[in-house]
Structure 1
Amino acid sequence: MSKPYFFTGLLVIIFLAVQAWCSFITFHYPYIGISIEQAAGKQWVIRELEQENIRAQLGLQVGDIVKLVDNKPPEESPSVQKWKMVEQARTLLISRDGQDAEIEIKVNSTTLGDMIPLVQEFVCLLMVVLLIVKARQSPSARLLAAVFLTMTIIYMSLGASVRGDALGKLLITGFMMMLPAVFVHFLVVFFKEKSNLILPVRSLKYWYAWGIAGLALRLLYFYPPTSYLVYRYSALISLCFFIAGFIYILGMLTFLYVQAKKASAPVMTIIVSIRTSFFLAFLPAICFSFLPSILTGSALIDARFTSSFILLFPISFAYLIASDQLYDIGLVCRRFLFACLLAVVPVSLFTGIYIFLFQQETKIGQVIFISTGAMIMVSLVLYAAEHGSTKLEPFLFPRKFMLQAALKKISRNLGTISKFRELKELILVDIVTTLQVSGSAIVFAYENEMEIIHEGEIDPDEIRELIGSSSLLEHPQYTCIEMNRHEAYTSFLVITRKKTNTRLAKEELQWLRLITSYLEVSLENVHLIRKLTYRLQQMASQLPQEHTAQDIQWFRKVMFDLQEEERVRIATELHDTTLQDLFFLKRRLSALADNGVRYKEDQEPLRGLIHYVEMINESLRQSCFELNPYLLKEVGLLKTLNMYLEKEAYTTPFELEFRIGAEGAVEAGDLSAKQHLFRIVQELLNNAKKHSHATKVIFQIEEAAGMLRLRYEDDGVGFDEEGTASRQIGSSGMGLEQMRSRVLHMGGELTCITQKGSGTTFVITVPTEGVMSA
Structure 2
Amino acid sequence: MKIVVKISVSMYMVLFIALQIWCSFVTFHFPYNGIYLDTARTDEWIVSKLEANSTNDKIHIGDKVIAIDGKPPGEWSTVKRWNVVEKANSVVIWRDGVVESIDLRTSRPALFDIISLAEEFVCLFMCVLLLVRESRSPSARLLAFSFLSAALIFMSLGASMRGDLIGKLMIASSMMVLPIVFLHFLVVFFKEKGDMELPKGHFKYLYGIAFLAFVLRGLYFFPSMAFVYRYDGSVTMGFFIIVISLNISLLATLFVKVRKAQTPLAGIIKSVFYSLLISFLPIICLSFLPQLIIGDWIFDPIYTSWLLLIFPITFSYLIASDQLYDIGLVVRRVLFACLMAVVPVSLFTGAFAIIFHGETNGKQILFVFLGSIFLLSAMLYAAEYWTTRLEPYLFPRKYVLKSALKKISKNLGTISSFRDLKDIILVDIVGTLQVTGGAIVFRHKNDIEIFCEGEVDTAEIQRLVNSSAMLKHPYYTFLEMNCHEEYTSYLIVTRKKTNTRIAKEELHWLQLITSYLEVSMENVYLIRKLTGRLQQMVSHLPQEEHLWLRKVMFELQEEERVRIATDLHDTTMQDLFFLKRRLTSLAEKPSMRQEDREQLNSMNNFVEMINASLRQSCFELNPHLLKEVGLKQTLKTFVEKESYTTPFEISFRAEQISEIEGKDLSAKRHIFRIVQELLNNAKKHSQAANVSFHLWEEDHFFYLSYRDDGVGFHVKEEVAVEIAASGMGLAYMRSRVLHVGGSFELETAEGEGTHILITIPTEEVMSA
Fold equivalence (TM over 0.5):
yes
The yes-or-no answer on 1:288 pairing with 2:286 is yes
CA contact (8 A) 2:160 2:167 kept: yes
Aligned to 2:651: 654
Aligned to 1:639: 630
Aligned to 2:737: 743
Equivalent-residue separation in structure 2 for 1:656 and 1:28 (angstroms): 106
- Within 5 Å, give how 1:238-249 maps onto structure 2: 238-249=236-247
- Within 5 Å, give how 1:53-68 maps onto structure 2: 57-58=57-58, 60-62=60-62, 64-68=63-67
CA contact (8 A) 1:128 1:148 kept: yes
Equivalent-residue separation in structure 1 for 2:361 and 2:369 (angstroms): 12
The yes-or-no answer on 1:381 pairing with 2:379 is yes
- Within 5 Å, give how 1:329-344 maps onto structure 2: 329-344=327-342
Aligned to 1:771: 766
- Within 5 Å, give how 1:392-431 maps onto structure 2: 392-431=390-429
* Structure 2, gaps ≥5 residues long: 644-648
Aligned to 1:697: 693
Bigger drift between 457-466 and 732-741 goes to 457-466
Q: 1:392 to 1:539 in 2, by over 3 A?
A: same
- Within 5 Å, give how 1:693-772 maps onto structure 2: 697-701=693-697, 704=700, 709-713=701-705, 723-724=714-715, 733-746=727-740, 748-752=742-746, 760=755, 762-765=757-760, 771-772=766-767
Deviations 1:102-155 (A, max 9, x none): 444467753444333233223222322332343344333233222112111211
1:734 is paired with a residue whose SS is: coil
CA contact (8 A) 2:470 2:478 kept: no
Equivalent-residue separation in structure 1 for 2:103 and 2:602 (angstroms): 104
Q: 1:767 to 1:229 in 2, by over 3 A?
A: farther
Aligned to 2:47: 46
Deviations 1:162-211 (A, max 9, x none): 12222221221121122133323433432333233344444334433433
Equivalent-residue separation in structure 2 for 1:371 and 1:491 (angstroms): 57
Deviations 1:681-717 (A, max 9, x none): 434565678758668632235675xxxx331235765
| AA matched with 2:703 | R
Aligned to 1:572: 566
Equivalent-residue separation in structure 2 for 1:406 and 1:676 (angstroms): 43
1:324 is paired with a residue whose SS is: coil
Deviation at 1:74, TM superposition (A): 0.6
Q: 1:512 to 1:663 in 2, by over 3 A?
A: closer
Aligned to 2:646: none
Q: 1:495 to 1:719 in 2, by over 3 A?
A: closer
Aligned to 1:587: 581
Deviations 1:215-267 (A, max 9, x none): 344344344444x2332232222222222321333344456668889999862
Deviations 1:281-340 (A, max 9, x none): 211211221122223322222111221221111011011101101112222222223333
Bigger drift between 623-632 and 80-89 goes to 623-632
1:146 is paired with a residue whose SS is: helix
Q: 1:2 to 1:310 in 2, by over 3 A?
A: same
Aligned to 1:18: 19
Equivalent-residue separation in structure 2 for 1:601 and 1:354 (angstroms): 80
Deviation at 1:5, TM superposition (A): 5.7
Deviation at 1:67, TM superposition (A): 1.3
CA contact (8 A) 2:536 2:721 kept: no
1:128 is paired with a residue whose SS is: helix
Aligned to 1:134: 133
Aligned to 2:122: 123
What is the identity percentage for the equivalent residue pairs of Structure 1 and Structure 2? 48
CA contact (8 A) 1:743 1:766 kept: no
The yes-or-no answer on 1:160 pairing with 2:156 is no
Equivalent-residue separation in structure 2 for 1:141 and 1:354 (angstroms): 42
| AA matched with 1:203 | H
Q: 1:237 aligned to 235, 238, 245, which one?
A: 235
- Within 5 Å, give how 1:299-310 maps onto structure 2: 299-310=297-308
| AA matched with 1:131 | L
Q: 1:53 to 1:352 in 2, by over 3 A?
A: farther
Q: 1:563 aligned to 542, 557, 563, which one?
A: 557
Deviation at 1:461, TM superposition (A): 6.8
The yes-or-no answer on 1:481 pairing with 2:478 is yes
CA contact (8 A) 1:180 1:207 kept: no
Equivalent-residue separation in structure 2 for 1:110 and 1:759 (angstroms): 106
CA contact (8 A) 1:665 1:771 kept: no
Aligned to 1:203: 202
Aligned to 2:149: 150
Deviations 1:464-515 (A, max 9, x none): 7887898776666x4523334757456342233344x555444444434444
Q: 2:273 aligned to 272, 275, 294, which one?
A: 275
CA contact (8 A) 2:436 2:496 kept: yes
The yes-or-no answer on 1:190 pairing with 2:189 is yes
Equivalent-residue separation in structure 1 for 2:137 and 2:382 (angstroms): 25
Deviations 1:4-30 (A, max 9, x none): 566555544543443344334334433
| AA matched with 2:169 | L
| AA matched with 1:116 | I
CA contact (8 A) 2:418 2:524 kept: yes
**TM-score after normalising by structure 2:** 0.83
CA contact (8 A) 2:479 2:511 kept: no
Equivalent-residue separation in structure 2 for 1:696 and 1:438 (angstroms): 49
| AA matched with 1:762 | L
Deviation at 1:436, TM superposition (A): 4.3
Deviation at 1:724, TM superposition (A): 2.5
Deviation at 1:80, TM superposition (A): 0.9
The yes-or-no answer on 1:175 pairing with 2:171 is no
Deviation at 1:424, TM superposition (A): 4.6
Equivalent-residue separation in structure 2 for 1:81 and 1:145 (angstroms): 38
Equivalent-residue separation in structure 2 for 1:286 and 1:739 (angstroms): 88
Q: 1:611 to 1:243 in 2, by over 3 A?
A: closer
Q: 1:366 to 1:283 in 2, by over 3 A?
A: farther
Deviation at 1:743, TM superposition (A): 3.2
CA contact (8 A) 2:426 2:453 kept: yes
Equivalent-residue separation in structure 1 for 2:716 and 2:243 (angstroms): 95
1:164 is paired with a residue whose SS is: coil
- Within 5 Å, give how 1:534-545 maps onto structure 2: 534-536=532-534, 543=540
Q: 1:98 to 1:456 in 2, by over 3 A?
A: same
CA contact (8 A) 1:749 1:766 kept: no
CA contact (8 A) 1:158 1:168 kept: yes
Deviation at 1:59, TM superposition (A): 5.5
Bigger drift between 620-629 and 446-455 goes to 446-455
Q: 1:322 aligned to 296, 320, 323, which one?
A: 320
Bigger drift between 593-602 and 118-127 goes to 593-602
CA contact (8 A) 1:26 1:160 kept: yes
2:36 is paired with a residue whose SS is: strand
Aligned to 1:495: 494
Bigger drift between 140-149 and 655-664 goes to 655-664
2:650 is paired with a residue whose SS is: coil
* Structure 1, gaps ≥5 residues long: none
Q: 1:87 to 1:703 in 2, by over 3 A?
A: farther
Deviation at 1:410, TM superposition (A): 2.6
Equivalent-residue separation in structure 2 for 1:485 and 1:640 (angstroms): 49
Q: 1:356 to 1:581 in 2, by over 3 A?
A: closer
Deviations 1:554-593 (A, max 9, x none): 6544543443344334423432344334434543565577
| AA matched with 1:123 | V
Bigger drift between 127-136 and 322-331 goes to 127-136
